[in-house]
Amino acid sequence: MNHSQRLKIGISACFMHADPARQLFTGKTLQYVEQSIAHWVMSTGAMAVMIPSPTGATQRGDVTLDHYAQWLDGLVLHGGADVSPLSYGEKPIQDKWAGDRIRDEYEIDLVAAFERHGKPVFGVCRGLQLLNVAYGGTLYQDIETQIPKALRHRDAQVYDNNFHGVEIAPGSRLAALYSNDKRVKVNSIHHQAIKDLAPGFEVEAMSHEDGIVEAIRRTDQTQPYVAAVQWHPEFHRCDSDTIDDAALLEDFLSAAAAARKKLQTP
């Protein structure tokens, strides 16, 4: 495939903020992507591009997030630090759940830029939570604290080998993608979750045991594609019985290809 024909998918950056006590990159801010999310995006031939934040203490030049949104075909928001309660009008219940407000602001601005340019956005784990907040929703800061009878959705000892069942909402786009499955098995690596769903979105899947929201999608199909899942499709292994990641990726990349074609049409 000619490189000009390949879809170019942006991946939002994770931040490791400047730390004078760190031995490597002492006092420097690092921006990075987790390898598996990049490999997932590239698995069917799309090109993955990390989008660095253009702002910060060492900012130089005139590049903006709009430049990236105009150039790229779609955006993936992936996992990482907690979304800050300050980003949805709350105070942290505990200091350890203060989250990363700087990354929140960068990603909310990034989503807005892709929205302005009519490009699709797909969220994974933190990405689902960030999208819910970006469009006006709120979160549970800690599932175990605020929903005591809920499942354990994050187990640090087993990490991505923690699983539970998910019910797919009948009639949803997700149900169409997985027409043979009403209940599926997913990995679960999160302690925050959607509390108030953002206006204009629908729930496409919920945790079977406790009703935690596991997938969302924007309902207005005349607007750019926005969808997200709480689990990590990029961690799917072909020899496992967890939900196959291929249909989710194909759905998103198809939206990216359609957006490119629409924008190229005179």
The catalytic residue positions are 125, 232, 234
Residues 6+ apart with CB under 8 A from 30: 15, 16
- Please answer whether residues 122 and 77 qualify as being in contact, where contact means their C-beta atoms are separated by less than 8 angstroms: yes
Three-state SS across 160-222?
A: HHCEEEEEECCCCHHHHHCCCCCEEEEECCCCCEECCCCCCEEEEEEECCCCCEEEEEECCCC
Cα–Cα dist 39/48, whole Å: 8
Contact criterion met (CB below 8 Å) for 29 and 52: no
**139 neighbors 192 (Cβ within 8 angstroms):** yes
